[in-house]
Amino acid sequence: MSNSFIMMRMLLVICVICDTMMTVCHGFSVVTTPSLLVSKFQRTSMMSLRMSTDEPQQQTQPTTTAKKEEREPITHEEPEDAVIHITNSAMTRLRELVEKSNESLVLRMGVRNGGCSGLSYVMDFSTPDDIAEDDAVDSYESDGVTCVVDAKSLLYLYGLELDYSDELIGGGFKFFNPNAEESCGCGSSFGV
């Protein structure tokens, strides 16, 4: 196999990764907060990218949501009826982002139509003035973080666990949703 052919194959794989990243970027609508973007490696780490010419590339198949016991226990104080459960590592990262902004911000989470499995997660920061009357609000007072979920997304996100990993491959925010019957290998979409 010639070097130029291998380089062409690698460029093709990079394009596939970039297309996946573009989908993730739009799925998270965090254009104003680049530091919150989920790593493209997290979204593509489950994909099977084969470099061999003997095997054709396969599409990512929907997988089930990961089991809760595989993750770290939550040791920080949570609101009694928390909609979103935030792991220690995710709370640490969120606290860093809020402190870095030097503003009073709330984490806004939701879902929208789209993605491989039908629904995509939306995650962004907004101001406390943007909180609507029908939003579910979880205030993690000891950590200085407030999480807001709009009424339409509440049904899909109730009980969701938000995790964070700073690993080079597979790092970023991760969603473990007990309501998801299936989730895409990219990790940014799910179906109920």
Which domains does the chain carry?
3-49+60-191 (2.60.300.12)
In this predicted structure, what is the pLDDT of residue 130? 92
Distance between CA 8 and CA 88 in Å, rounded?
42
CA distance 182 to 23: 18
Best-predicted range by mean pLDDT (19-23, 126-130, 170-174, 180-184):
126-130
- For residue range 139-181, what is the model confidence (pLDDT) as tens digits? 888 788 899 999 999 988 898 898 998 888 878 888 888 877 7
Q: Return the pLDDT at 72.
A: 60
Q: Is 132 or 11 the better-scoring residue by pLDDT?
A: 132
pLDDT tens profile 77-99? 676 778 889 998 999 999 999 88
- Which pair of tokens denotes residue 147? 């999480």
Q: Strands of 145-149's sheet, edge to edge?
A: 136-140, 145-149, 106-113, 119-126, 189-191, 182-183
Mean pLDDT taken over the chain:
66
Q: If you search the block for the tokens 């969120």, which residue do you land on?
A: 94
pLDDT at 112 over 60: yes
Confidence bin at 13 (pLDDT 50/70/90): very low
Segment of 2-6, 14-18, 141-145, 155-159 carrying the highest mean pLDDT: 155-159
Q: Are 111 and 120 in contact (CB under 8 A)?
A: yes
Q: What is the dihedral of CA 24, 76, 178, 69, to 10 degrees?
A: 100
Q: In angstroms, what CA-CA distances link 57 with 8, 54, 100, 184? A: 15, 10, 41, 17
Rounded to an integer, what distance in angstroms lies between the CA atom of residue 172 and that of residue 136?
24
Q: Give the other-Cβ count within 10 Å of 59's Cβ.
A: 8
